[in-house]
């Protein structure tokens, strides 16, 4: 037996050609993974993490419990100090994943009577965290800071404002568009209306900044941001996440963030890999190669007269809008059959009519590969 309501939902996905399936490994040229710097397969990082475990005499496979019980092993303070120093932050608190970090933050920090103003394209983990919060949440149009200011004015007028805090949340790089907000103007707006700014740097970390610290750090705005969420499953090629902020914020989260309190801590190997990845991030030259590939990709978009279909982006994510699940899946399949792993993004993940091909660029992609994949794409979307 299977519940009829659930069966109908699955059938609806099939009808819309939007049924999701788990991916399979392949040997195609990678234009789909978030491994922007190739760190997930970096031998130096692999060996350095193993060396750190030996150095700390931590030959164990698991953390044995939550961080508040037995799982707060000695690598946690070592790595959290490293993160705080690297990101010019008072404190850092490691979570098991970016999803856990966003759930833990938004479910615990905004209180009843508070207001959350969030970008309409905010990640599912942010939205899920807000659903668990007692605060009221209102969205502003994507990267539209005039719309955000309208909401800020609305919620700062009258006596009710004295009893509430306003949290503004957005992302430094949006995962489904690859674009970014005007962070300087955003910071100034939050200062003007005494709002607390929260930035998810999942796709900015490793890509922007002198040593890859993210877009906020690149623009020197870290002291003006209440909390930054950095995640390690993208450019750092490993696993986990951290919330960067004040010592008081860390103390609060340790006491009230349920996704931190009630889960088994990350094993020592995960912490050692984070440590090694940050060390590599400060030393690597691959970030320059990624930057060059991003600029070359953008020039090839223009060369193939595709600029009207691509969302403007300076990040490692570039999206070509191809309306309709059937059409975008067909084009993606054609490109995959030609040897390139480019993924279609379907509705309902994005709005109907905004289906797209998502190109993720990497330091290890060659210019020949970039040229070829866009040459393949051009006749498929302009015919």
Same domain as 317, residue 264? no
Whether 30 is covered by a domain: the verdict is no
Same domain, 200 and 339: no
Beta strands in the chain (DSSP E): 29-30, 91-95, 115-119, 136-140, 166-171, 196-200, 227-231, 241-245, 317-321, 340-341, 343-345, 356-360
Based on the fold, state whether residues 201 and 317 are members of the same structural domain.
Answer: no
Say which CATH number the domain at 238 has.
3.40.640.10
> Tens of pLDDT along the chain (383 residues)?
999 999 999 999 998 888 888 888 889 999 999 999 999 999 999 999 999 999 999 999 999 999 999 999 999 999 999 999 999 999 999 999 999 999 999 999 999 999 999 999 999 999 999 999 999 999 999 999 999 999 999 999 865 566 799 999 999 999 989 999 999 999 999 999 999 999 999 999 999 998 999 999 999 999 999 999 999 999 999 999 999 999 999 999 999 999 999 999 999 999 999 999 999 998 878 999 999 999 999 999 999 999 999 999 999 999 999 999 999 999 999 999 999 999 999 988 898 999 999 999 999 999 999 999 999 999 999 86
Give me the domain span that covers residue 352: 285-382
Domain count along the chain: 2
Q: Is residue 329 part of a domain?
A: yes
Same domain flag for 47 and 130: yes
Q: Tell me the three state secondary structure of residue 363.
A: coil
Counting beta carbons within 10 angstroms of the beta carbon of residue 25, is it exposed (0 to 12), middle (13 to 18) or buried (19 or more)?
Answer: exposed
Residue 35 within a domain: no
Q: Are 42 and 36 contacting, i.e. CB atoms less than 8 angstroms apart?
A: no
CA distances from 356 to 194, 255, 282, 348 (A): 37, 42, 34, 12
Distance CA 208, CA 230 (A): 13
Q: Write the DSSP assignment of 248-313 as a string of letters.
A: HHHHHHHHH-HHHHTSBPPPHHHHHHHHHHHHHHHH-SHHHHHHHHHHHHHHHHHHTT-TTTBPP-
Pairwise CA distance, residues 227 & 215, whole Å: 14
| DSSP codes joined into one string, 270-287 | HHHHHHHHHHHHHH-SHH
Q: Taking the complete model, does pTM exceed 0.75, yes or no?
A: yes
Residues 201 and 244 in one domain: yes
- Does residue 18 belong to any structural domain of this protein? no
CB 39 within 8 A of CB 289: no
Same domain, 247 and 297: no
How far is the C-alpha of 149 from the C-alpha of 192, rounded, in Å?
A: 10
Q: Is the same domain home to 116 and 158?
A: yes
CA pair distance 32, 358, nearest whole angstrom:
7
Task: Look at residues 103, 106, 112, 117 and name the one whose alpha carbon lies nearest to residue 149.
Answer: 117
Same domain, 361 and 318: yes
């Amino acid at each position: 037996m299977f519940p009829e309501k659930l069966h109908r939902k699955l059938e609806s996905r099939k009808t819309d050609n939007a049924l999701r399936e788990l991916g399979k490994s392949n040997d195609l040229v990678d234009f789909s993974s978030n491994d922007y710097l190739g760190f997930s397969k970096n031998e130096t990082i692999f060996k350095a993490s193993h060396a750190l475990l030996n150095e700390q005499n931590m030959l164990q496979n698991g953390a044995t419990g939550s961080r508040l019980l037995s799982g707060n092993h000695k690598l946690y303070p070592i790595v959290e100090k490293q993160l705080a120093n690297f990101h010019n932050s008072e404190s850092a608190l490691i979570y098991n994943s970016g999803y856990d970090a966003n759930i833990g933050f938004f479910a615990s920090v905004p209180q009843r009577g508070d207001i959350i103003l969030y970008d309409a394209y905010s990640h599912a983990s942010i939205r899920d965290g807000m659903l668990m919060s007692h605060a009221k949440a209102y969205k502003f149009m994507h990267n539209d800071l005039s719309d955000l200011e309208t909401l800020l004015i609305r919620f700062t007028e009258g006596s009710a404002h004295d009893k509430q805090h306003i949290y503004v949340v957005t992302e430094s790089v949006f995962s489904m568009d690859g674009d970014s907000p005007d962070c300087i103007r955003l910071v100034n707006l939050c200062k003007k209306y005494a709002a607390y700014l929260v930035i998810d740097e999942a796709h900015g970390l490793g890509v922007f900044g002198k040593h890859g610290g993210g877009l906020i750090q690149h623009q020197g705005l870290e002291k003006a941001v209440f909390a930054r969420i950095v995640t390690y499953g993208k450019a750092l090629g490993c696993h986990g996440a951290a919330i960067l902020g004040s010592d008081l914020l860390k103390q609060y989260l340790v006491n009230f963030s349920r996704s931190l309190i009630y889960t088994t801590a990350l094993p020592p190997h995960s912490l050692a890999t984070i440590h090694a990845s940050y060390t590599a991030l400060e030393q690597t030259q691959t970030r320059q190669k990624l930057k060059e590939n991003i600029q070359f990709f953008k020039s090839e978009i223009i060369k193939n007269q595709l600029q009207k279909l691509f969302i403007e982006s300076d990040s490692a994510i570039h999206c070509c809008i191809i309306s309709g699940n059937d059409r975008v899946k067909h084009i993606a399949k054609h490109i995959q059959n030609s040897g390139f792993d480019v993924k279609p993004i379907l509705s309902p993940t994005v709005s109907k009519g905004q289906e797209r091909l998502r190109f993720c660029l990497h330091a290890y992609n060659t210019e020949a590969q970039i040229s070829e994949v866009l040459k393949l794409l051009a006749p498929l979307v302009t015919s």
